[in-house]
Structure 1
């Protein structure tokens, strides 16, 4: 069993919230480098500052598309993907338009994901599939659409308010996608025990705002179980 400090390389350290400042972004990047997190996720408008703070290190920068609701137009979401690539991101996590799927508009749902993947190339896209909102059949359609679109990773949800990441859901995703597609666990992960559980269930990466407290055991984890 990996000790907390060695789990850092599997955690994508996220900075989410209102009124995020440049100082917060630079501190977040410094934490990512200090603890060896897989990547620092920051608001899209601050990618430039994160990249500047990373300097010549091997650290990686990620950002979100249309977070948290995924209700933007496909054209707008694709433009955001291209803008993030131009800004120098290494990682992109995208919401999906789950309303399309819930409205039985599977073709539109799939086309939106495919457009994002194409717009973000050569950067791979991780999609947050909001599985807790879906029926069994809808889950299968969501996963298949993502795989067919060529996503790099699938995620269980966008945040804990949709569904807290649990081993059963992560295991389902791992069984449902080919080995070439990664699985990222997100939503309400605040403890080292949760990280270990989802990794054992098949997650390749874990997204959390609580990375520092997870790996150090010190300080209060930001947010709640219902946040990212």
Structure 2
């Protein structure tokens, strides 16, 4: 796949979700994101305002997480968390769906959970984006397809493979399945264990339109040293 460093960077959410991250770590993340042209930085909610301040005037978006990493918060809590994040400067929210409800077959609750976050974001930021983390490592193929359908019906903009804290990360097979299971207008974010240029390109070839990784700098540096395809 013939991508320039800038083209690849524009598909990456430069991610730092470690519980030990502090202000200096967030500052460094933002500097790297601006320098390399990443789509967004993805940080925990407590760091949204800090990241927004460091990124003032840049095209890099602030992304945060909601109901992270288990998805087991109440819908009201997720919506409030999303609303607060948008008010603090987040343009994108990656929410973990209610995995237990999905497995129970309670599709109405799963959809309402997502729809509440979408509404909360749009109440503050009309062009805000919601990505629904499915945590595919816990799901059967049928559950993955059903989750995609519910995310689309609820107005989400992306489905995402994994939190990076679950039992498995992104696979090309899952990315391809999610791509086939959502409307063309929706995106697929591959996340969880993506650390090399080869992994990144495999996810994009499978249908990913965004990548979530804490190894973004190494990945885009890797494409610079990759010989062109014959």
TM-score computed with the length of structure 1 as normaliser: 0.90
Gaps of 5+ in 1: 218-228
Q: 2:159 aligns with which of 154, 157, 164?
A: 154
Secondary structure class of the residue paired with 2:163:
coil
Do 1:62 and 1:93's aligned partners in 2 also have CA atoms closer than 8 Å?
A: yes
Using the alignment, how far apart are the partners of 1:160 and 1:187 within structure 2? 8
Secondary structure class of the residue paired with 2:10:
helix
Do 1:5 and 1:216's aligned partners in 2 also have CA atoms closer than 8 Å?
A: no
Do 1:160 and 1:188's aligned partners in 2 also have CA atoms closer than 8 Å?
A: no
Using the alignment, how far apart are the partners of 2:185 and 2:89 within structure 1? 24
Post-superposition, which runs of at least 4 consecutive aligned residues in structure 1 deviate over 3 A? 3-6
Secondary structure class of the residue paired with 2:41:
strand
Gaps of 5+ in 2: 223-230
Secondary structure class of the residue paired with 2:53:
helix
Secondary structure class of the residue paired with 1:77:
helix
Using the alignment, how far apart are the partners of 1:52 and 1:157 within structure 2? 28
Using the alignment, how far apart are the partners of 2:18 and 2:61 within structure 1? 20
Secondary structure class of the residue paired with 2:64:
strand
TM-score computed with the length of structure 2 as normaliser: 0.90
Secondary structure class of the residue paired with 2:63:
strand
Aligned pairs for 1:28-177 (under 5 A) are 28-121=29-122, 122=126, 123-159=128-164, 161-177=166-182
Do 1:14 and 1:209's aligned partners in 2 also have CA atoms closer than 8 Å?
A: yes
Deviation at 1:141, TM superposition (A): 1.7
RMSD: 1.6
Do 1:4 and 1:214's aligned partners in 2 also have CA atoms closer than 8 Å?
A: no
Aligned pair count reads: 218
